[in-house]
Structure formats: C-alpha cells, structure tokens
Chains A and B, each alone.
Chain A
Amino acid sequence: DTGVSQDPRHKITKRGQNVTFRCDPISEHNRLYWYRQTLGQGPEFLTYFQNEAQLEKSRLLSDRFSAERPKGSFSTLEIQRTEQGDSAMYLCASSSIRDRGRQETQYFGPGTRLLVL
C-alpha cells in the first residue's frame, strides 16, 4: 500500500497524559499536513511541512501541541497534557508540488482517533 499511513489508528488516554501520533506520507511527497476533525465538522488545518521545514501553524495549535518532520519523510504530532477537548480524529495528508500546471491534491491517511477520558 503506497498511500498515507498513520499510527496508531485509535488511542484512548487519560486527561493529562502525553500522546504522540505518527504519519508516513506517500513516498516522495514533499508536503505534509496535519488536520483535526471533530464530529459533524470538516477537518481543520493544524500545521504543514514542506520537506523538514514547518512553514505554517494554525492558531488552533496551542503550545501543548508540537509537530516534527525531522528528515522530511515521516512526521509526528505530540499533544502534551491532553484535555478532553482534544478528543478528535487527527488526519495527516500529503501532497507534491511537482505536478506543475495541475491543482495540488492532498491525499489523506486513515486518521488517528483520539479519546481523552
């Protein structure tokens, strides 16, 4: 399977614990995005990387959230001191800017569903 993969697929944690999610983008995609989706809403942008550089962060990304993409391949999203409001699906997407002349298309992974008790 050469699509975007995410791990774990589900995570249940207690309030105050730290959690870390991993995303493996489509091979050679140089852009990687994190989104969060809550029930009944569309995904909301959190942050994005071009190669290893984090180029943009949403104001939704509080200081408890940190994302890395150290080698420009996989990425991790860490949430420290989780709160019940962090319960959501965390989606990763990747894209390539190499398809010049075409609209950049983002391909999504299956998501990590987080439940904070």
Chain B
Amino acid sequence: RKEVEQDPGPFNVPEGATVAFNCTYSNSASQSFFWYRQDCRKEPKLLMSVYSSGNEDGRFTAQLNRASQYISLLIRDSKLSDSATYLCVVNGGSARQLTFGSGTQLTVLP
C-alpha cells in the first residue's frame, strides 16, 4: 500500500465548475500536510499548507481529518489556468522528507 494515495483522475471539468480531490495517508505520525501543484514538465510548487482546522485561500479550500487520515482540496469556480496535476503531500514522524501521492490530473475545459 502506498503511503499517500490519490485518485489519479483525470478530472475534466468545465470552466466555473467546483471540483474536489481526496487523498489518504497511512502514517498516523504524519505532522505536516500540503497540496502542491505541478504543471506539465515543471517542478512542483506549493499551493497551500493544510491545517487541522481547515484553511482557505481564495477559491481553494483544504481540509484535514486526522482521525480518518484524509486530506481534501476543493477548487471553486475553476479557471483554465487551474489545469495541472495536484499532488497530495505529507511530512511525517521523524522524517524530514516529503512523501508525495502520485497526483491527480485536472483539465479545465472552456
């Protein structure tokens, strides 16, 4: 079983749609959680950190459920520029390295 699991998609949605991505992680000692965005053939870039209380950044909302070991990302009012792969990322226990999911591919269609 992978440490971080995501639905690979692809998700194809029209502009303006709301789309949600889910992710589960296996290491209960994980302490930090992130969503990174990766455009084709580019490096991952931090989209947002995820906090236990949930957090919002503009059209993006992230939620964390530690009991279920579940992370989510909600994108409202999708834009064409949101098309990318979204990586669920966990930094856990005594390890400093990030553990990435395989990513969920999103395409926003005009």
Q: Report the count of interface residues on B (CB-CB < 8 A).
A: 23
Tell me whether B97 and A33 are in contact (CB under 8 A): yes
Tell me whether B32 and A56 are in contact (CB under 8 A): no
Q: Which residues of B contact A106 (CB under 8 A)?
A: 46, 98
**The residue from B49, B95, B100 contacting A105, defined by CB atoms under 8 A apart:** B49
Tell me whether A40 and B102 are in contact (CB under 8 A): yes
Q: Which residues of B contact A109 (CB under 8 A)?
A: 43
Q: Report the contact-size class of chain A (Cβ under 8 Å from the partner).
A: 20 to 34
CB distance from B25 to the nearest CB of A (A): 12
Tell me whether B43 and A31 are in contact (CB under 8 A): no
**The residue from A42, A91, A104 contacting B91, defined by CB atoms under 8 A apart:** A104
Known: A103-B49, A104-B91. Is A111-B43 also a contact (CB below 8 A)? yes
Task: With CB as the reference atom, state the residue of chain B lying closest to A105.
Answer: B46
Tell me whether B101 and A42 are in contact (CB under 8 A): yes
**How many angstroms between the C-alpha atoms of A55 and B99 in the bound complex?**
17
CB distance from A25 to the nearest CB of B (A): 13
Tell me whether A45 and B98 are in contact (CB under 8 A): yes
**How many angstroms between the C-alpha atoms of A47 and B4 in the bound complex?**
19
**How many angstroms between the C-alpha atoms of A107 and B85 in the bound complex?**
17
Q: Which residues of A contact B101 (CB under 8 A)?
A: 42
Interface string of A75-117 (1 = CB under 8 A from B): 0000000000000000101000000000111111111010000
Q: Which residues of A contact B49 (CB under 8 A)?
A: 103, 105
Tell me whether B97 and A45 are in contact (CB under 8 A): yes
CB distance from B89 to the nearest CB of A (A): 8
The 10 closest A-B pairs by CB, nearest first: A42-B100, A45-B97, A108-B43, A103-B32, A103-B49, A43-B100, A42-B102, A110-B43, A42-B87, A108-B44
Interfacial residues, chain B to chain A (CB-CB below 8 A): 4, 8, 32, 34, 41-46, 49, 87, 89, 91, 95-103
